[in-house]
Amino acid sequence: MDDLVVVGAGPYGLSVAAHAAAAGLDVRVLGRPMASWRDHMPEGMFLKSEPWSSNLSAPGGRYTLAEFCGTRGLTAAHGEPLPLDTFSSYGLWFARHACPPVEELTVTHVSPQGEGFRITTDQGPPLLARTVVLAVGVMPFVHVPAALRELPPGHGSHSSDHRDLSGFAGQDVAVLGAGQAALETAALLAESGARPRLVARSGRINWNSVPQPLERPLLRALRDPHSGLGTGWRSWVWSELPWAVRRLPVATRERIAATALGPAGAWWLRERFERRVPVLLGHRLHRAVAVGDRTRLGLTTAAGESVVLDVAHVIAATGFVPDLGRLGLLDAGLRTALRTVGGTRTPELGSGFESSWPGLFFAGLLTAPSFGPSMRFVHGAGFAAGRLVAGVRRRLAARGPLPGSAGTAAAPAGPVAGQPKTYLR
């Protein structure tokens, strides 16, 4: 039986695995490394966050994005957007150097068994583990507006469905949303020869400002501090104090998770977008029907007027909504037994990211209502990984001696528990 099985091999899963391996735990990582970044984002996209705030987490601050870029003659500089393909390659490099070998297995079921868990995959016999971390990323939580869900195939999609947008060349495409995914998808469509139009409920598009220099006069830095989630004291709190967010009242945490760091476009995208993409702001989608090979959208303005938009295809860049009910791989009885955060459908977590079911841990988007908005971003992995592995060690200790501690059976020759393992392949 393994000490820990990590389900998911994105930034959070890989970071947890790196910390667990360095702590001497017997850990396995299951999933396709960096899957959502490699498979579900259009070619040509850029990383919105600054490179220095986009590191995966390994003990001692090793294996940073800057280190990866430096070995390849690439630039990872403040204020210079980085291609997402470069970030995906960084994640694969991190996995090779900092983690146990990732097993590209699809987990189909996680259920309780004794004092541990039974993990069923699409290949081979089930695995048994004392503890499990679900670091499943965002893809289980894709949100598509109700009006689009009954459209036949080919008429509508989610922005995460597209790796290549060139197939829309020459077509009229509506893009729903006002966040970075919507704005950049629309710009890429226009640059690929399509005729996109952005449709948003919001009455305006918010754009992030050009980042301030890292080196600034002290007074200016104190007035508007940098953080992994942007400048300003509020962003600094979300970025640097997730532990404090968790101690806030439930209703406050719910509100923060729902409203903090709302939709906005990156400063470097604005010119590309505004010169090529027309917009319909203040328009709500209430109906979508297929008419032949076209898609007809029924919209309502803020004044209550009806507008009809006829397009070849509609792309919903409407984000992801964390919901335990969408986590089909988790045993239904276990899922319904979990305590949740207020009125959300997300797990209530302890300080070590452990749920109310002993030994079951979560990382990533599902943890945002517990620890705040930083858990929606790569930057949050730095806080989550170390705290979570400490929580795993506490749980293992509660069930018996930790690996390598006095009173355990002699272990095979290998790294000493608590000392880093190195994976160079």
The model's pLDDT over 261-294, given as tens digits with 9 standing for 90+, comes to 889 999 999 999 999 999 999 999 999 999 999 9
- Packing angle between helix 381-399 and helix 11-22, nearest 10 degrees? 50
- What span, in angstroms and rounded, lies between the C-alpha atoms of 314 and 390? 45
- Across the range 300-308, mean pLDDT stands at 94
Inter-residue contact 203 to 302 (CB < 8 Å): yes
Q: If pLDDT is split at 50, 70 and 90, which confidence band does 215 have?
A: confident
Q: What angle do CA 52, 54, 55 make, to 5 degrees?
A: 90
- What span, in angstroms and rounded, lies between the C-alpha atoms of 329 and 198? 35
Which of 75-84, 98-107, 402-411 is most confident?
98-107
Inter-residue contact 320 to 159 (CB < 8 Å): no
> Torsions phi, psi of 330, nearest 5?
-90, 130
**Exposed (0-12), middle (13-18) or buried (19+): which is 368, by Cβ within 10 Å?**
buried
Q: What is the pLDDT of residue 224?
A: 87
Contacts of 252 (CB under 8 A, 6+ apart): none
DSSP state of 399: H
Q: What is the pLDDT of residue 402?
A: 58
- Residue among 33, 115, 31, 99 nearest 63 (CA): 99
Q: What is the pLDDT of residue 223?
A: 87
Mean pLDDT of the chain: 92
Q: What is the pLDDT of residues 224-236, one digit of tens each?
A: 888 888 888 998 9
The two tokens of residue 211 are: 């980042």
Residue at token pair 């009806």 = 306
Q: Could you tell me where the beta strands, DSSP code E, fall in 89-210?
A: 102-103, 107-113, 116-121, 127-134, 156-158, 172-176, 195-200
Task: Delineate the domains of the chain, giving CATH numbers in brackets.
Answer: 2-141+320-399 (3.50.50.60), 146-207+264-316 (3.50.50.60)
Name the CA radius of gyration of the chain, rounded: 23
Give Cα separations from 113 to 19, 128, 331 (angstroms): 25, 8, 11
**Exposed (0-12), middle (13-18) or buried (19+): which is 115, by Cβ within 10 Å?**
middle
pLDDT over threshold 60, residue 409: no
DSSP state of 401: P
pLDDT over threshold 90, residue 166: yes
- Residue among 262, 255, 260 nearest 343 (CA): 255
- Packing angle between helix 84-98 and helix 11-22, nearest 10 degrees? 20
Q: Could you tell me where the beta strands, DSSP code E, fall in 114-248?
A: 116-121, 127-134, 156-158, 172-176, 195-200
- Residue among 315, 259, 281, 301 nearest 145 (CA): 315
- What span, in angstroms and rounded, lies between the C-alpha atoms of 123 and 138? 23
Q: Is the pTM of this model over 0.85?
A: yes
Q: What is the pLDDT of residue 208?
A: 93
